Structure formats: structure tokens, C-alpha cells
């Protein structure tokens, strides 16, 4: 059992499985097995069994698949392997996340968010503390991992991973989430800033994502955060052909999405 546990990669399997990567690896395995069968049937059968098990447990067989698969899939005709992007967030780590309205009400009650007619704003002291926390975490992977594990209630483990020239904070709790570096800095910094408010600790990782609706600059590159549509990336399920990406708040320079503003009208079917 311990051997299999060591092989498992939850960040690439289950709900995090990239099906184009899986299909590509199965196809490559089938090719190798097909070449071996006429000459070495027993090794071919063994390769098929072991290879399938590894793909099932790890998400892929060929090393560095997450690095090259998106580029390879992008060259295939028909857009068969296009991927939809969702902005991974600390709120994805915990099952049964609260409704956004309930989180907003809690932020208002705690004095974190101010209300002026139909306008919402972030209290100046919270905004200043948040900027200071983000500044301390940006460009320091060790500090980011330590802060995530020590300060975020829903996280059991955290580590930094580099895939396809992008950096992610991989966090595990009740589930696993991949946070782009900028999102991780923004949300972990928000959790730390919220620790100095009256908001209960159990709600901070959920509220941290809500605070990203007030983000005006990317905490990593410093460029403006503007409205746009989610970009495509590897690591998520293949959408329905009629899928339309949601409207998000994203960095104008690096394209990282911090907050979803609007879901497509037919998102719920």
C-alpha cells in the first residue's frame, strides 16, 4: 500500500486530471505495446498493465507531460483538446464552500468591507496590511509555502511547482488546488491580513478569494488587473463544445485570473 501511495499524484488525478494529457499518454503506451507484441508478447503485456496503472495513479506516464502536452495539443486540428480555465483558489481546498453572498456579509460585519450606497470598498487599514503581506511573499517561494501551511486553516501541505515556465503553489487539504504564483501571493497575503480583523479564522481562506475582487494590481508583476475572459490552460477537464469562458479579473500583463465576475448565461445548463 505504501508503494502505491508514493506513486499517487492527486494534483494530476481525480478532478485535477488533464484528460488530453491522459489520452496522449495512453496513445503513446498503446504505440509501444503494439510494437512489442509481435516480438515480445509477455513484456508487451507487462508494459500495458504497468503503464496503465501508472497513468491511473499519477495522471501521466511520460516524464514532464504537463510541460509539453499543452503545446502539442494546441497544434491539433479542430480544437479538440482546448481546455477551459478556472481560477484555482484557496476556497477550492475546502469542501462545502459558503455562498459568496454569505462571505460578503461576514466581511461587512467584520468591518473589512465598507458599504457606501451601492458601492463596496476595502477598509484602508486592511488594504494597507494586505499590500504589505503581498509584498513580503512575492518572489519568496519559501516564505509563501511557510505562510500557506502555518496561516491558512484549510491547508495540510504546500509546495511550489514549476510547469511549462509557470510557477504554482500546490496546496492540499480536503482537496488539492494549483494556485498560480500571483493568485497564491494575493490570497495567502489576504488570509494573513484578515488575521488582524474580527473575521473568524475558519472563514479567512474563503474571504481571501472574495478580497481579490478589490485587487487593482498584480502582486507579482505589478501590472493592472482588468476585466477579461479566462485563457486556456492545461490541467482541467475538456469543456463542452458550446462552452464560453467567464468574465474574470486578470492581470493585463501575465494573464493570471484572480476573480470570476460573471459566468456564462448557460453555465448551469
Question: Residues 9-63: pLDDT tens digits?
Answer: 666 676 667 767 787 888 889 999 999 999 898 988 999 999 898 888 877 787 7
- pLDDT > 90 fraction of the chain, expressed in percent and rounded: 35
pTM: 0.66
Check pLDDT > 80 for residue 68.
no
Check pLDDT > 80 for residue 251.
yes
Averaged pLDDT, 175-186: 88
* Number of neighbouring beta carbons within 10 Å of residue 139: 12
Check pLDDT > 50 for residue 235.
no
d(CA 60, CA 74): 18
* Number of neighbouring beta carbons within 10 Å of residue 85: 21
Lowest-pLDDT choice from 171-175, 218-222, 236-240: 236-240
> What pLDDT shows up at residue 70?
54
d(CA 87, CA 135): 21
The residue ranking higher by pLDDT, 201 or 111, is 111
> What pLDDT shows up at residue 208?
93
Taking each helix axis from N to C end, the angle separating 181-194 and 141-151, rounded to the nearest 10 degrees, works out to 50
Query: By the 8 A CB rule, do 171 and 179 touch?
Result: yes
The C-alpha cell 498584480 sits at: 218
> What pLDDT shows up at residue 227?
86
Query: By the 8 A CB rule, do 180 and 224 touch?
Result: no
Closest-CA residue to 64 (of 98, 24, 104): 24
Distances in Å between the alpha carbon of 82 and those of 17, 27, 69, 239, 244?
14, 18, 11, 8, 12
Question: Could you tell me if residue 165 is left (phi over 0), alpha (psi between -120 and 50 degrees) or otherwise beta?
Answer: left
Q: Which of 75-79, 224-228, 242-246, 262-266 has the highest mean pLDDT?
A: 224-228
Averaged pLDDT, 95-102: 71
Check pLDDT > 80 for residue 232.
no
> What pLDDT shows up at residue 230?
64
Distances in Å between the alpha carbon of 180 and those of 5, 61, 82, 259?
26, 24, 19, 12
* Reported confidence tier of residue 103, pLDDT bands at 50, 70, 90: confident
> What pLDDT shows up at residue 129?
96
Q: Are strands 225-229 and 257-262 parallel, antiparallel or unpaired?
A: unpaired
Across all residues in the chain, what is the average pLDDT? Answer: 79
Helices (H), the chain: 2-7, 19-36, 41-58, 65-74, 100-109, 124-137, 141-151, 181-194, 204-211
> What pLDDT shows up at residue 244?
65
> What pLDDT shows up at residue 134?
97
Check pLDDT > 90 for residue 224.
yes
d(CA 1, CA 3): 5
d(CA 196, CA 236): 35
Check pLDDT > 70 for residue 78.
no
C-alpha cell at 181: 504564483
> What pLDDT shows up at residue 175?
75
* Reported confidence tier of residue 267, pLDDT bands at 50, 70, 90: very low
Rg (CA), the chain: 21
Amino acid at each position: 500500500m505504501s508503494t502505491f501511495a508514493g506513486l499517487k499524484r492527486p494534483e494530476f488525478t481525480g478532478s485535477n486530471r488533464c484528460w488530453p494529457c491522459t489520452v496522449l499518454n495512453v496513445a503513446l503506451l498503446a504505440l509501444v505495446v503494439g510494437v512489442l507484441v509481435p516480438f515480445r508478447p509477455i513484456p508487451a503485456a507487462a508494459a500495458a498493465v504497468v503503464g496503465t496503472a501508472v497513468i491511473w495513479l499519477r495522471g501521466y506516464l511520460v516524464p514532464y507531460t504537463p510541460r509539453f502536452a499543452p503545446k502539442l495539443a494546441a497544434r491539433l486540428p479542430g480544437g479538440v483538446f482546448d481546455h477551459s480555465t478556472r481560477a484555482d483558489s484557496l476556497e477550492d481546498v475546502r469542501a462545502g464552500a459558503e455562498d459568496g453572498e454569505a462571505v460578503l456579509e461576514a466581511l461587512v460585519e467584520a468591518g473589512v468591507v465598507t458599504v457606501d450606497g451601492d458601492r463596496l470598498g476595502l477598509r484602508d487599514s486592511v488594504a494597507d496590511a494586505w499590500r504589505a503581506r503581498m509584498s513580503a511573499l512575492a518572489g519568496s517561494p519559501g516564505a509563501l509555502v511557510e505562510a500557506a501551511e502555518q496561516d491558512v486553516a484549510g491547508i495540510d501541505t504546500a509546495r511550489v511547482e514549476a510547469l511549462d515556465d509557470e510557477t504554482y503553489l500546490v496546496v492540499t487539504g480536503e482537496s488539492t488546488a494549483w494556485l498560480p504564483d500571483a493568485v497564491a501571493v494575493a490570497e495567502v497575503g489576504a488570509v494573513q491580513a484578515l488575521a488582524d480583523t474580527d473575521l473568524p479564522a475558519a472563514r479567512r481562506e474563503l474571504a481571501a478569494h472574495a478580497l481579490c475582487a478589490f485587487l487593482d494590481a498584480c502582486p507579482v508583476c505589478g501590472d493592472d488587473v482588468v476585466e477579461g475572459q479566462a485563457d486556456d490552460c492545461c490541467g482541467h477537464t475538456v469543456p463542452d463544445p458550446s462552452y464560453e469562458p467567464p468574465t474574470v479579473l486578470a492581470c493585463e500583463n501575465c494573464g493570471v485570473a484572480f476573480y470570476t465576475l460573471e459566468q456564462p448565461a448557460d453555465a448551469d445548463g
